[in-house]
């Protein structure tokens, strides 16, 4: 009996963790955070989640699914909401159909941003964009066996994100124009990946969890911090959301906080920024 306790999966078998969207920024961070497990990291080329998984893709039993595959083009979703739903809703249902414990990721964009104080799990969602609506329906599609983690303003050392865009623009220009009337929590993918492991390893209850960086700022304030920490002298010209004329509305205030006493707490976004820059420097060596 004692042996069964020490080794719940049996005979020295490591936990088998399937990651969808493994080519994305969070997928990349999760591969690192779960490196001690037996990880099956599937990119879009390995499994297009708009289609049900086939046995040859999954290759045997799975103990945990980390579902990061998503349509994340917020403006593109306005032009093709059905395409976005095929990934964010049907794709999540297909991940749930694997019938293993599931972690799926959702967004601060399920809120309209009018509350003016931090959003907690019991606040009613009211998405104002097609992307937000598909992510909200995706939460429902995840089912009862899922941890649904809402997070915000993700950045990491790989993929397309605001930090990497600012580093590129900062190296090319003396000044960049950045929106200063949206407030949120820029969250380092590496910190979120560690918190995901904490949530799963502690076997905290399934359901909705808000997990985002501590602190809050506007995109312009985040850009200024990026330039400062990276040693760039680029100026930030503060502009309004309206000036950008983007197709999708964004919430003006989408700070996420958890009202759950046992929720994993993330470091301040500035610490996330420093950790990400350190990772980028290491990768460049």
Ligand X SMILES: NC(=O)c1ccc[n+]([C@@H]2O[C@H](COP(=O)([O-])OP(=O)(O)OC[C@H]3O[C@@H](n4cnc5c(N)ncnc54)[C@H](OP(=O)(O)O)[C@@H]3O)[C@@H](O)[C@H]2O)c1
| Site residues for ligand X per CB under 6 A | 21, 23-27, 44, 48-50, 68-72, 87, 91, 105, 107, 135, 151-154, 159
Known active-site residue 131: yes
The residue among 71 and 227 lying less far from ligand X, judged by its C-beta, is 71
The residue among 120 and 235 lying less far from ligand X, judged by its C-beta, is 120
For CA atoms 215, 218, 221, 222, the dihedral sign is positive
| H-assigned helices in the chain | 2-6, 25-33, 55-58, 74-79, 81-85, 91-96, 130-141, 162-172, 189-201, 219-230, 241-244, 269-284
Q: How far is the CB of 204 from ligand X (least distance, A)?
A: 19
The residue among 118 and 159 lying less far from ligand X, judged by its C-beta, is 159
The residue among 24 and 127 lying less far from ligand X, judged by its C-beta, is 24
105, 109, 131, 253: the active-site residue: 131
Residue of minimal CB distance from ligand X?
A: 24
DSSP per-residue codes, 22-82: TTSHHHHHHHHHTTTSEEEEE-TTT--TTS---HHHH-S--SEEEE------HHHHHH-HH
Tokens of 277: 């820059």
Catalytic residue numbers, as ranges? 131
């Amino acid at each position: 009996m004692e042996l069964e306790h020490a080794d719940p999966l049996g005979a020295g078998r490591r936990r088998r963790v399937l990651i969808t969207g493994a080519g994305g920024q969070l997928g990349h961070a999760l591969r690192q955070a779960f490196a001690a497990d037996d990880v099956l990291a599937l990119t879009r080329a390995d499994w297009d989640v708009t289609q049900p998984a086939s046995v040859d893709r999954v290759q045997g039993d799975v103990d945990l699914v980390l579902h990061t595959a998503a349509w994340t083009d917020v403006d593109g979703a306005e032009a093709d909401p059905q395409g976005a739903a095929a990934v964010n809703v049907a794709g999540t249902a297909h991940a749930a159909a694997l019938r293993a414990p599931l972690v799926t990721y959702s967004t601060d964009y399920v809120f309209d941003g009018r509350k003016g104080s931090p959003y907690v799990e019991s606040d009613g969602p009211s998405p104002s964009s097609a992307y937000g609506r598909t992510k909200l329906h995706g939460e429902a599609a995840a089912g009862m066996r899922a941890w649904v983690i809402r997070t915000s303003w993700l950045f990491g050392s790989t993929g397309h994100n605001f930090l990497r865009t600012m580093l590129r623009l900062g190296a090319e220009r003396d000044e960049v124009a950045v929106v200063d009337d949206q407030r949120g929590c820029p969250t380092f993918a590496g910190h979120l990946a560690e918190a995901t492991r904490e949530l799963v390893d502690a076997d905290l209850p399934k359901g909705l969890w808000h997990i985002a960086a501590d602190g809050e700022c506007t995109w312009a304030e985040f850009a200024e911090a990026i330039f400062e920490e990276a040693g760039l002298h680029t100026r930030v010209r503060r502009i309004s959301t309206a000036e950008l004329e983007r197709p999708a509305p964004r919430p003006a205030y989408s700070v996420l906080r958890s009202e759950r006493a046992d929720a994993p707490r993330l470091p301040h976004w500035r610490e996330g920024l420093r950790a990400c820059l350190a990772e980028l420097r290491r990768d460049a060596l």
